[in-house]
Amino acid sequence: MKKTTVIVLILISFFNSVYADQPAAAYIARYKDVMTRTAWWRDARFGMFIHFGAYAQAGRGEWVKSNEHKTTDQYQCYIDAFNPTDFDARQWARTAKAAGMKYAVLTAKHHDGFCLFDSKLTDYKLSAKFNGRDVVREFLDAFRAEGLKVGLYYSIIDWHHPDYPNVGNHPQRDDKNYLTGKNINWDNYLKYMHGQVEELVRNYGKLDILWFDYSFDDYSGEKWKATDLVRMIRKYQPDVILDNRLEIHGGSSAKQRQVSYLGDFETPEQGIPETELVDVYGNPFPWETCMTLNGSWGYSEMDKNWKSPQLIVNCLVNCVSKNGNLLLNVGPDARGTIPEKSKEILSEVGQWMAKNGESIYGCGPSTLPKPDWGRYTQKGNQIFAHWLNTNLGDINAKGIDPEKVKMVTMLPSGSELSSYTSWWGNQDTGNFFINASNVPQMPYLYDTVIKIQLK
């Protein structure tokens, strides 16, 4: 081997080792694309998830067909009875807007395969009997009219389609004779699934979000011909935001997390990450927790396990303080009405948002350490101290340099609050005490927000 060749190989090895942990140019470009597409969404922070379908007729959640191992024939009674005569997308939109939500995502088709949109590829759809009404179109029109961004959920699994096998959580997963006499054609199913997604992205105007659900085991990524699917979607909807469930259900470790061509954001479910999510290179990673108001996604008559408005506010602040979003679910009943308890909770959350939304919209995490009395969110030179937990005495926003503070105010009222660096003998370095109340209780329900304006 020539000496020059050896030198070149040594140099290549050296640079590979030095830059092994650095993102390649292609990844940097992809990351920038994702952050550009998701900019409005990361500013919005709060959205509504809507699980609505024929399963509402059963009133036992959207997984009733799977949980009770119902055949398509046994499930048909719910399809026949489903007639949401009270459905009014405008009321839904007004409810979401009043709650302070900035976007909404509706189930265009869930796992049972029944479509809320007027698909030309199947008769298994509500419009076939609902006087031709297209619930998806009415939803999109109503929410856009209220100034809200719009998204559609689409299940890539389908318990009704004859070419979808009895895998995963299929209702007949334990039926060993299910495939007897059947000629399952997977490519035919993919053609159907891709065709329905194409209907959604071509026929319903600009979509802001596509929320796919879900991959599992070997049924992930290219099993769905996901690259072809996304390429087709981007042809018609170049700016639409995609979740990550074409390739994974949930999330991945920070040791391997990277933005992907197949998805723009991660989707933790029914819980909030312990820390801000970052990719393998330490860059902020877009994420959104989806969460139910009670214990069910689809309407459940007996589920009265409602989360309080205080808990919802706490969860929202928690998400934003970690650079994430909250997608909060409602499950309308079989008549098409959002349950009264859901509306009651959302109304109270909306009242809090009307006074404190500045601390949520466009905000993200602060570099200050988390205090025991609550959390911080931050937007530029504005730090928002969220007093969430029981506290005696003054609030210590430790770590803030008093020389850099322009003004401290109570966010809902705008009134100035007094601040100082020592209290009751505590003269530690880095103290920044704020007098926010002369009683032990918070002066505002759920979360008292203090705005710290830096110079």
Q: What domains can you pick out in the chain, each with its CATH number?
A: 25-357 (3.20.20.80), 374-454 (2.60.40.1180)
- 362, with CB counted inside 10 A (0-12, 13-18, 19+), is middle
Strands 325-330 and 46-50: parallel
pLDDT at 250: 64
Backbone angles phi, psi at 411, to 5 degrees: -60, -50
Measured at the CA of 123, the angle between CA 67 and CA 167, to 5 degrees, comes to 35
Q: What interhelical angle do 135-145 and 89-98 show, nearest 10?
A: 40
Report the C-alpha dihedral over residues 428, 429, 430, 434, rounded to 10 degrees: 40
Q: If you compute the radius of gyration of the chain from its CA atoms, what whole number of angstroms results?
A: 25
Distance CA 347, CA 437 (A): 26
What's the number of CA atoms in the CB half-sphere (13 Å) around residue 256? 4
Asked if 442 and 397 touch (Cβ cutoff 8 Å), the reply is no
Give me the long-range contacts of 32-36 (CB less than 8 A, separation at least 24).
34/259, 34/264, 34/265, 34/286, 35/286
pLDDT at 91: 98
Asked if 106 and 136 touch (Cβ cutoff 8 Å), the reply is yes
3 state DSSP class of 149: strand
CA proximity to 106, closest of 147, 67, 136: 136
* Mean pLDDT for back-to-back runs of 10 residues, the chain (455 residues): 42 38 81 97 98 98 98 98 98 98 98 98 97 97 98 98 97 95 96 98 98 96 98 98 89 79 95 95 96 98 97 98 98 98 98 98 97 97 96 92 96 96 85 91 93 97
Distance CA 370, CA 447 (A): 15
pLDDT at 429: 86
Distance CA 436, CA 397 (A): 12
pLDDT at 3: 46
DSSP 22-77: SPPHHHHHHHHHHHHHTHHHHHH-EEEEE--STHHHHTB-TTHHHHTT--HHHHHH
CA proximity to 325, closest of 94, 51, 62, 39: 39
b/e map 93-122, b = 16+ CB within 10 Å: bebbbbbbbbbbbbbbbbbbbbbbbbbeeb
For residue 368, give every residue at least 6 positions away whose Cβ sits within 8 Å of its Cβ, in sequence order, or none.
376, 383, 397, 398, 399, 400
Measured at the CA of 453, the angle between CA 452 and CA 455, to 5 degrees, comes to 140
Q: Which amino acid is at 396?
A: N
Asked if 451 and 359 touch (Cβ cutoff 8 Å), the reply is yes
pLDDT at 392: 83
Distance CA 157, CA 173 (A): 13
pTM: 0.93
Distance CA 199, CA 116 (A): 13
**How would you list the strands of the sheet with 149-155, edge to edge?**
241-242, 209-213, 149-155, 103-109, 46-50, 325-330, 288-292
Distance CA 157, CA 1 (A): 56
CA proximity to 435, closest of 419, 416, 413, 454: 419
Distance CA 338, CA 32 (A): 38
Q: In the 8-state DSSP scheme, what is residue 407?
A: E
Helix (H) / strand (E) containing 317 = helix 309-321
User: In the chain, what's the furthest Cα-to-Cα distance?
Assistant: 82
Bond prior to 19 in cis (omega within 30° of 0): no
Q: In the 8-state DSSP scheme, what is residue 224?
A: G
Q: Which amino acid is at 423?
A: W
pLDDT at 439: 83
Asked if 262 and 230 touch (Cβ cutoff 8 Å), the reply is yes
